[in-house]
Chains A and B, each alone.
Chain A
Amino acid sequence: AQRVTQPEKLLSVFKGAPVELKCNYSYSGSPELFWYVQYSRQRLQLLLRHISRESIKGFTADLNKGETSFHLKKPFAQEEDSAMYYCALSGGSYIPTFGRGTSLIVHP
């Protein structure tokens, strides 16, 4: 079985502060991990996937197989980063399991 845990329901920071949204997973095979984002009144969209190892909107996420984590980080938060963030894991069937989400609020 595959499981994704996002321990924080809410993360509140000030503009310019570093941000780390935590994600831990459980999966017996080799996972594909993703972060999805949902801005207010918009649809869920893919932010980044671990295999591409790219930075999107200043966000990065590194897969740590030893700690089974895939935390999302940004060194300097912006107000426009305020959104719901979902970590997701896909096994071999391309069907993702989502975490419950973390609401990020960036204060001016």
Chain B
Amino acid sequence: QQQVKQSPQSLIVQKGGISIINCAYENTAFDYFPWYQQFPGKGPALLIAIRPDVSEKKEGRFTISFNKSAKQFSLHIMDSQPGDSATYFCAAAERGRGGGNKLTFGTGTQLKVEL
């Protein structure tokens, strides 16, 4: 059962452009939504996370937009750089029900930023 759907599967963006990755979830008990960045040969690294009590969170060039009624959230990377080329995963957890970091991951988006 795919509880977190992620799109697109791959994305090519020009340097300086905006990268947008979307995720949708089904489980309304999810209350914690992190994004992870993974480079080849490395483990996923936490990028930014949001709780459903806010609609947007920004950290540097990275912004999460959250739409609780639509059960959707997205990652925006502003001024995309070649160094941002990596695989991005959205995830969700039920922290309020003691789920801690029992994360359900999306399928990943391979981002390539071209010069």
Q: Do A and B form a real pair?
A: no
Contacts from B to A (Cβ < 8 Å) = none
Contacts from A to B (Cβ < 8 Å) = none
